[in-house]
Structure 1
């Protein structure tokens, strides 16, 4: 069975790193300490976020394709 994007089946994916604010004081002061790796399908745009600190030891693209 071929694996790919769970929405469209495409195997064309890419990744980006993003940072986001949290709640409370970090939101008020725009402190973007929440870091994620985003894996997205280049065909349909479906995206999954992975916590950067807890997922550094594994291949994130393999997780996206299940």
Structure 2
């Protein structure tokens, strides 16, 4: 992946993932049905988030493991 930080023009980065809840039902049962990929600049730590798809199976598994 070619990456160039929009703030400092650095080209080194880290990629990570986070999951979050979406609405009232998912908050009540702590179902993390939203997934995001983050790209963080290693120099200035500027971070961008990109929405990733989650499957129904992942959501069910998450429900039973919380």
Normalised-by-shorter TM-score class: 0.5 to 0.7
Query: How many residues are matched?
Result: 51
- Report 1 or 2 for greater relative contact order, CA contacts < 8 Å, sequence distance ≥ 6: 1
1:4 corresponds in structure 2 to: 4
Name which one, 1 or 2, has greater alpha-carbon Rg.
2
CA RMSD, 1 decimal: 1.4
Higher helix share: 2
Q: What TM-score do you get using the length of structure 2 for normalisation?
A: 0.67
Provide structure 1 residue ranges, at least 5 long, that are not aligned to the other structure.
54-66
